[in-house]
Chain A
Amino acid sequence: MFTEIGPGMLLEDVAFSATPAAIKETAEKTVEAMTVTRETGKTDKECDWVDHVLRIRDAQDQTAFAELFRHFAPRVKAFLIRSGSDPALAEECAQEVMATLWHKAHLFDPGRASVATWVFTIARNRRIDLIRRQRRPEPEDLPWGPEAEPEPAEVVSLQQETAQLRDAINALPKAQRELIEKAYFGDLSHREIAAQTGLPLGTIKSRIRLALDRLRHAIG
């Protein structure tokens, strides 16, 4: 059923330009990285960022926002420039992304995503909207209400996993790391991603099960 996508799939009549051979492997390496677990990992900073977002949500705290801005805005701008935007547009978009963070602080769920992950998804959607000029369909919201504040233990566990993921990605050989970056910074098409061979579907499971448990918990 999970049909392997062969290199013969590449067609001239497809608008997506791309050479096959880079990213099924990328997905594979990423999946491996996600399964690696380490004992250590810096989570203090992340706790701090979560706290900043909650301060914005609960008290419209401008000091917290300024600190978040200093950390994330240049990174969003760099991400957009790396994805093909010119610096002026990237500056404008990074500001919009940070403004979105303020306006949507009440939607942030620290049991499901780190602040960096959340900022990434906002920046990615802005990039699709602006640079690729297409809409971004998002999944239906899960049916849980605002009363479903995540358990502190879930928040901590998410932060630990994120730290482990960071360690694992940083431990990748340079070439693999660069491949993953190319995928996320918009340098690989979906065909290039699919054309990578040997994607081990099974290896993703160990890390993923945690995320799934959290989803189910949130629903229940």
Chain B
Amino acid sequence: MNEQIKHHLTDALLMGYSAGALPEAFDLMVATHLSLCDDCRARAESFDAVGGVLLEDNQTEIEMDAPSLADTMAMIKQGAPRPRGPEPTPCKILPAPLSAYAGGDLSKVKWRSIGMGVKQAILATSPEATARLLYIPAGAAVPDHGHRGMELTMVLQGAFSDEVDRFGRGDVEIADEDLEHMPVADIGEDCICLAVTDAPLRFNSLMPRLFQPFFRI
């Protein structure tokens, strides 16, 4: 099992995931965290139960079309639809939902340098929010930055520390516009994170700001 996860998802995020209200990048973050955290998985399933009650108790009078059941039986007889896409490759670092987006295990990730040894790989999701993998060399820092939206960062390998706390595998840091921080990777191991944001980051020094339009960081 993993070392104890200290930093969990909020009820609002878990409810949003259950209700299907999150942008795809945030769904990816939640699904990845739930893959590592039984605690949050149990909470998420309880929010699903709320959805079940609402679905069943909905008072709206809607009828199915007349041949509906027969049509459905005909659909069933055609067999189960094939699952889309390949089965995710098992990976010690990337849980299944994430490896499906990263194209397989860690070796398949297409990193791009964003300076000072830090690398990132943007994952394809719907446009309301961005998901990316971050690679921070052991002991290195991500430039001091603030946030214009909500940013969630979850550690997959190694650990980082910032003004808030130390974050290890499975821990999620939830940052909003009030947080200006400079995460520094632990010295023992390169740090790999999943980061999702629903607005562009803003950097406090000139250089990264110049790069921002090109690298979408």
Whether A and B are associated in the same complex: the answer reads yes
Q: Could you list which residues of chain A lie within 8 angstroms of chain B, going by C-beta atoms?
A: 1-3, 5-6, 8-9, 11, 13-16, 23-24, 26-28, 30-31, 33-34, 62, 65-66, 69-70, 72-79, 81-82, 90-91, 94-96, 98-99, 102-104, 112-114, 116-121, 123-125, 127-128, 132-141, 161-162, 165-166, 169-170, 180-181, 183-186, 188-191, 193-194, 196, 199, 201, 204, 207-208, 211-212, 214-216, 219
Establish whether residues A165 and B127, one from each chain, have CB atoms under 8 Å apart when the complex forms.
Answer: no
Q: Which residue, of A119, A120, A162, has the highest number of chain B Cβ atoms within 10 A?
A: A120
Establish whether residues A189 and B21, one from each chain, have CB atoms under 8 Å apart when the complex forms.
Answer: yes
Which of A9, A74, A141, A214 is in CB contact (< 8 Å) with B149? A9
- Least CB distance from B53 to A in Å reads 5
- A133: chain B residues within 8 A (beta carbon): 126
- Give the dominant DSSP class at A's interface: helix
Establish whether residues B58 and A82, one from each chain, have CB atoms under 8 Å apart when the complex forms.
Answer: yes
Query: How many angstroms between the C-alpha atoms of A62 and B77 in the bound complex?
Result: 12
Establish whether residues B22 and A190, one from each chain, have CB atoms under 8 Å apart when the complex forms.
Answer: yes
Q: Which residue, of B20, B60, B76, B97, has the highest number of chain A Cβ atoms within 10 A?
A: B20
- A137: chain B residues within 8 A (beta carbon): 24, 27-28, 30-32, 97-98, 100-101
Establish whether residues A183 and B62, one from each chain, have CB atoms under 8 Å apart when the complex forms.
Answer: no
Is B179 among interface residues, defined by CB-CB distance under 8 A?
yes
- Least CB distance from A8 to B in Å reads 6
Known: A6-B176, A114-B49, A204-B43. A193 touches B19 (CB 8 A): yes
Taking A75-B55, A190-B22 as known contacts, 19 extra A-B pairs with beta carbons closer than 8 A to each other, sorted by chain A number, are: A1-B174, A3-B175, A3-B179, A14-B128, A15-B23, A23-B15, A74-B63, A78-B60, A78-B62, A102-B76, A116-B56, A139-B35, A162-B52, A184-B50, A184-B54, A188-B19, A194-B13, A199-B11, A211-B45
Establish whether residues B95 and A124, one from each chain, have CB atoms under 8 Å apart when the complex forms.
Answer: no
- A120: chain B residues within 8 A (beta carbon): 48, 51-52, 54-55
Known: A16-B128, A82-B60, A137-B27. A1 touches B38 (CB 8 A): no
- A114: chain B residues within 8 A (beta carbon): 49, 52
- Nearest opposing residue in chain B for A127, CB measure: B20
Q: Which residue, of A79, A183, A189, has the highest number of chain B Cβ atoms within 10 A?
A: A183
- Give the dominant DSSP class at B's interface: helix
Band of interface residues on B = 35 or more
Is B41 among interface residues, defined by CB-CB distance under 8 A?
yes
Establish whether residues B42 and A208, one from each chain, have CB atoms under 8 Å apart when the complex forms.
Answer: yes
Q: Could you list which residues of chain B lie within 8 angstroms of chain A, going by C-beta atoms?
A: 6-8, 10-13, 15-16, 18-24, 26-28, 30-32, 34-35, 38-39, 41-58, 60, 62-65, 68-69, 71-73, 75-76, 80-81, 95-98, 100-101, 125-128, 148-150, 164-165, 173-179, 198-199
Query: How many angstroms between the C-alpha atoms of A194 and B60 in the bound complex?
Result: 28
- Least CB distance from B90 to A in Å reads 9
- A165: chain B residues within 8 A (beta carbon): 49-50, 53
Query: How many angstroms between the C-alpha atoms of A77 and B28 in the bound complex?
Result: 27
Establish whether residues B54 and A180, one from each chain, have CB atoms under 8 Å apart when the complex forms.
Answer: yes
Establish whether residues B55 and A119, one from each chain, have CB atoms under 8 Å apart when the complex forms.
Answer: yes
A/B interface sample: 22 pairs, CB < 8 A: A1-B164, A3-B176, A9-B149, A9-B176, A16-B198, A69-B64, A70-B69, A73-B68, A90-B62, A94-B68, A95-B64, A95-B68, A103-B80, A113-B45, A117-B53, A123-B55, A124-B19, A127-B20, A136-B24, A139-B32, A190-B21, A211-B46
Q: Which residue, of B7, B45, B71, has the highest number of chain A Cβ atoms within 10 A?
A: B45
- Least CB distance from B72 to A in Å reads 4
Query: How many angstroms between the C-alpha atoms of A73 and B51 in the bound complex?
Result: 15
Which of B53, B69, B173, B176 is in CB contact (< 8 Å) with A169? B53
- Least CB distance from A107 to B in Å reads 11
Establish whether residues B52 and A116, one from each chain, have CB atoms under 8 Å apart when the complex forms.
Answer: yes
Establish whether residues A169 and B23, one from each chain, have CB atoms under 8 Å apart when the complex forms.
Answer: no
- A196: chain B residues within 8 A (beta carbon): 12
